């Protein structure tokens, strides 16, 4: 089986990271901003796993990406709970409208 | 090649997350992105990470996000939509990031790094999967982060349940 070039994986990860940053900057619904953050996490994980391929004995990249996935799951749970509270309090999940209310 | 199929699928569906205004379409398009990244993990000899990605992201985080969409939008009056702001600046910043990162990656000449050159390409050797070595590492080298992670998950779940609960009288 042919080896995937490392640069191509890194370029894919850079593209996913930029799309995630674009989602975080330009979207106004809080849940879509969370989706952008998940995309950024996945881009970082992809880099870790790609370099871990060259480290077969230690697998440090894969271990690190395992903990990144775990922290991302905890973050998603807490963030969605906060979004639900914000929605109950302000009756909107739109970040611009939340920011302009007092 | 399978990798490029997965890569194109991941980038297209991730772009659709940003481009669409419908929140549910964005959620399901994120599902396709996460699935293709799991496929790429398999191609990178990371089978345990791929299964974890499937179970945690596709099975857990995405269901949470769909719940969040359902509970935080007024579904009955057609508006599960989200408008975009800062389109020009956002595209500019993201495009500059992409160009800068790509330039750095292409200029870095990663294949000639010394520690990458003297590692062998035969990744797993006679070992069939990474599950056994990851399990041994979790119980030896990484036992402290592992226990801390369980503590963190417990605290996060308790905190999420407490925050999301409707208070009777504040």
Please give the CATH topology (third level) of the domain spanning A6-100. Helix Hairpins (1.10.287)
Give the pLDDT of residue B79: 57
Q: Residue B95: its chain A contacts at CB < 8 A?
A: 18
Q: In A3-102, where does DSSP find H-type helix?
A: 6-26, 30-52, 60-90, 95-100
B-chain residue closest to A18, CA distance = B94
Give the number of C-alpha atoms closer than 13 A to the C-alpha of residue B86, restricted to the C-beta side.
Answer: 16
ipTM score of complex: 0.90
Give the pLDDT of residue B75: 59
Please give the CATH topology (third level) of the domain spanning B2-164. 1.20.120
pLDDT tens digits in sequence order for chain B, 170 residues long: 899 999 999 999 999 999 988 888 999 999 999 999 999 999 988 889 999 999 999 989 999 999 888 888 765 655 567 777 888 898 999 999 999 999 999 998 877 777 776 665 555 555 667 888 889 989 998 999 999 999 999 999 999 999 888 776 55
Buried b (16+ CB within 10 A) or exposed e, B75-90: eeeeebebebeeeeeb
Give the pLDDT of residue B120: 59
Give the pLDDT of residue B16: 94
Check residues A21 and B129 and name the one with the higher pLDDT.
A21
**Taking residues A67-74, what's their average pLDDT?**
93
- pLDDT of A91 higher than 90: no
What band does A101 get if pLDDT is binned at 50, 70 and 90? confident
Give the pLDDT of residue B168: 65
Calculate what percentage of chain A has a pLDDT beyond 70. Answer: 95
The candidate with the shortest Cα–Cα distance to B54, out of B30, B37, B68, B29, is B37
Give the pLDDT of residue B45: 85
Give the pLDDT of residue B93: 93
Q: Locate the domains of chain A by residue range.
A: 6-100
What band does A49 get if pLDDT is binned at 50, 70 and 90? very high
Alpha-carbon span B62 to B56, nearest angstrom: 9
Alpha-carbon span B48 to B124, nearest angstrom: 13
The answer to whether A62 contacts B82, with C-beta atoms less than 8 Å apart, is no
Give the pLDDT of residue B38: 95
- Compute the count of residue pairs across chains A and B with CB atoms less than 8 Å apart: 230
Q: Locate the domains of chain B by residue range.
A: 2-164
The minimal CB distance from B90 to the residues A26, A59, A67 is found for: A26
Q: What is the reported pTM? A: 0.89
The answer to whether B17 contacts A23, with C-beta atoms less than 8 Å apart, is yes
């Amino acid at each position: 089986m042919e080896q995937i070039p490392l640069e191509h994986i890194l370029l894919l990860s850079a593209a996913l990271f930029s799309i995630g940053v674009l989602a975080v900057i330009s979207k106004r619904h809080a849940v879509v901003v969370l989706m952008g953050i998940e995309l950024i996490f996945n881009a970082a994980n992809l880099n870790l796993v790609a370099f871990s391929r060259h480290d077969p004995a230690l697998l440090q990249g894969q271990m690190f990406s395992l903990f990144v996935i775990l922290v991302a799951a905890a973050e998603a749970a807490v963030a969605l709970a906060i979004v639900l509270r914000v929605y109950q309090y302000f009756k909107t999940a739109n970040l611009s409208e939340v920011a302009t209310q007092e | 090649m399978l990798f490029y199929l997965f890569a194109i699928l991941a980038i297209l569906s991730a772009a659709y997350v940003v481009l669409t205004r419908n929140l549910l379409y964005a959620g399901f398009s994120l599902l396709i992105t996460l699935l293709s990244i799991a496929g790429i993990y398999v191609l990178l000899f990371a089978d345990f990470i791929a299964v974890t990605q499937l179970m945690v992201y596709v099975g857990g985080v995405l269901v949470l996000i769909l719940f969040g969409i359902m509970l935080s939008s007024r579904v009955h009056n057609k508006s599960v939509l989200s408008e975009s702001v800062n389109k020009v600046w956002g595209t500019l910043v993201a495009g500059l990031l992409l160009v800068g990162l790509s330039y750095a990656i292409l200029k870095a000449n990663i294949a000639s790094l010394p520690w990458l050159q003297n590692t062998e390409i035969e990744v797993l050797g006679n070992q069939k999967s990474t599950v056994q070595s990851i399990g041994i590492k979790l119980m030896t080298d990484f036992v402290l982060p592992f226990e801390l992670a369980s503590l963190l998950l417990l605290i996060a779940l308790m905190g999420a349940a407490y925050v999301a609960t409707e208070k009777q009288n504040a």
